[in-house]
């Protein structure tokens, strides 16, 4: 049986793969699994539910809320807020579970469901598997009368509590910094410009008018040219681009050069080491991070640990080893001292705080790392599970490794959310990276 949960929750085309009936059953099963250890006669369990502004979120929020209430769980709806806000509010309100309805950077027709356990933590694979099993065996009926959960619509103080948390986490005054923020017409549209303004920055917000249909539509972190152009148009010090649920952040400097998640991690790692905040002088990234990040960290005495792709795996490693900074090249940056998941708004505040602290431009700060040319090709496949072990793919990959030697790197991996196989090559020149990646992608497509 195909696993329902992917790299980051349950995701699919809303009302086709991800239906209201599936959401109802998923909400009921998750309520059973995630609140079983916290039920008492004194109070009903509580769930926090947030969403991004895409149109199907309204339908799925209603279905999930009904499913959880049918199992005796009270539901607090917090409206349109970033994923990290929902994680934070799950802990803040003392809730037993949290739910974020979002497909992150995916286009509007898609949607997704992410669960948090008590304290606002992402779920390990074993708990997700338990939810799937519970869905199959869940009885049709649940508690009755006073045992049925209540649904509390739109907690009016939720956004302010999250803003207060951001201010307490990154209190440095950002006066004098002019920033363009691309909100992707998503969950960042309201709260993120407010957070940057509250910190003292001059803020120019773009793509901050969601209409339920325009999320990620030629904007946000997957369309970085939009914020690049705006930075140069307004003469800003930097630009920040978020994705649909605002758990990631990419940047551009005053000249429009992209500063990706690897470079942001390098900047923050150096800052935290200088300030005595980088525990064990160690940074955690994924296997997709650029080889240049490892070289940069080696040069300043910082250890780089790597995990498989997915910010929750970075989180698991951070928590297991008691570390304080990790993330992904895509802009998911995790700082466990301030949050239980990646937070794009918090990342933007941290980056601007470093600029304010040092008086240096983002371009100068980013020079701590030299980015090796990296080419990523997404190859559509019919069955991504068999590609990595196919003899022709294995042989082609070995040839590529031999050709690159120590001057580059090759990585092949399945997408966690789509029927794609990702071919990534780093080399000393972009020409070599493209040539080798193209050859590998052709083999993957053929098999």
| Binding-site positions | 104, 243, 245, 247
SS3 content of the chain, % helix, strand, coil (to 5): 40, 20, 35
Burial of residue 160 (CB within 10 Å: 0-12, 13-18, 19+) is exposed
- The dihedrals phi and psi of 339, each to the nearest 5 degrees, come to -175, 160
Q: Which two tokens stand for residue 327?
A: 């993330």
User: How far is residue 144's CA from residue 71's CA, in Å, rounded to a whole number?
Assistant: 9
- Paired residues of 307 in beta bridges: 286
Annotated binding site for Mg(2+): 104, 243, 245, 247
Yes or no: say if 421 and 444 are a contact pair by the CB < 8 Å rule: yes
Q: Which of 192, 199, 193, 155 lies closest to 173 in space, CA to CA?
A: 199
* Phi-psi group of 181: left, alpha or beta (phi > 0 → left; psi -120 to 50 → alpha; rest → beta): beta
The one catalytic residue in 104, 189, 190, 324 is: 104
User: How far is residue 106's CA from residue 192's CA, in Å, rounded to a whole number?
Assistant: 20
User: How far is residue 55's CA from residue 82's CA, in Å, rounded to a whole number?
Assistant: 16
Strand order in the sheet with 303-307: 303-307, 282-286, 326-327, 333-334
Q: Coil, helix or strand for 89?
A: helix
Q: How many CB atoms lie within 10 A of CB 149?
A: 23
Sign of the four-CA dihedral 228, 231, 237, 241 = negative
* Phi-psi group of 359: left, alpha or beta (phi > 0 → left; psi -120 to 50 → alpha; rest → beta): left
Q: Is 104 a catalytic residue?
A: yes
User: How far is residue 412's CA from residue 437's CA, in Å, rounded to a whole number?
Assistant: 10
In the chain the first and final C-alpha atoms are separated, in Å, by 23
Residues 6+ apart with CB under 8 A from 370: 292, 295, 296
Catalytic machinery residues: 104
């Amino acid at each position: 049986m195909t696993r329902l949960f992917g790299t980051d929750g349950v995701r699919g085309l809303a009302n086709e793969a991800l239906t209201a009936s599936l959401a109802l059953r998923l909400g009921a099963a998750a309520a059973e699994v995630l609140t079983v250890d916290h039920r008492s006669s004194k109070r009903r369990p509580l769930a926090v539910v947030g969403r991004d502004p895409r149109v199907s979120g309204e339908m799925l929020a209603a279905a999930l809320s009904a499913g959880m209430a049918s199992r005796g769980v009270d539901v607090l709806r917090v409206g349109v807020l970033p994923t990290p806000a929902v994680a934070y509010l799950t802990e803040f309100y003392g809730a037993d579970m949290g739910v974020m309805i979002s497909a992150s950077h995916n286009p509007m027709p898609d949607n997704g469901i992410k669960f948090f356990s008590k304290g606002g933590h992402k779920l390990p694979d074993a708990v997700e598997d338990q939810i799937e099993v519970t869905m199959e065996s869940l009885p049709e009926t649940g508690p009755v009368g006073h045992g049925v959960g209540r649904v509390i619509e739109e907690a009016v103080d939720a956004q302010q509590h999250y803003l207060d948390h951001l201010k307490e986490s990154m209190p440095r005054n950002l006066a004098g910094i002019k920033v363009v923020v691309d909100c992707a017409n998503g969950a960042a549209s309201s709260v993120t410009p407010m957070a940057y303004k509250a910190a003292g920055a001059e803020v120019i917000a773009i793509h901050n008018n969601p209409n339920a249909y325009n999320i990620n539509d030629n904007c946000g972190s997957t369309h970085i040219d939009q914020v690049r152009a705006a930075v140069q148009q307004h003469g800003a010090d930097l630009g920040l681009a978020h994705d649909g649920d605002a758990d990631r952040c990419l940047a551009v400097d005053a000249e429009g050069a992209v500063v990706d998640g690897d470079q942001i991690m390098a900047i923050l790692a150096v800052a935290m080491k200088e300030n005595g905040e980088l525990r064990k002088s160690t940074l955690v990234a994924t296997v997709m991070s650029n080889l240049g990040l490892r070289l940069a960290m080696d040069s300043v005495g910082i250890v780089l640990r790597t995990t498989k792709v997915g910010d929750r795996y970075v989180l698991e490693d951070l928590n297991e080893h008691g570390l304080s900074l990790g993330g992904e090249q895509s802009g998911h940056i995790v700082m466990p001292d301030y949050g239980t998941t990646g937070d794009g708004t918090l990342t933007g505040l941290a980056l601007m705080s470093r600029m304010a602290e040092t008086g240096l431009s983002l371009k100068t700060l980013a020079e701590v790392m030299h980015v090796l040319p990296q080419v990523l090709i997404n190859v559509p496949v019919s069955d991504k599970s068999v590609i990595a072990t196919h003899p022709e793919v294995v042989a082609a990959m070995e040839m590529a490794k031999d050709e690159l030697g120590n001057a580059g790197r090759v990585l092949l991996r399945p997408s966690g959310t789509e029927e794609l196989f990702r071919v990534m090559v780093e080399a000393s020149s972009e020409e070599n990276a493209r040539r080798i990646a193209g050859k590998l992608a052709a083999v993957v497509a053929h098999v």
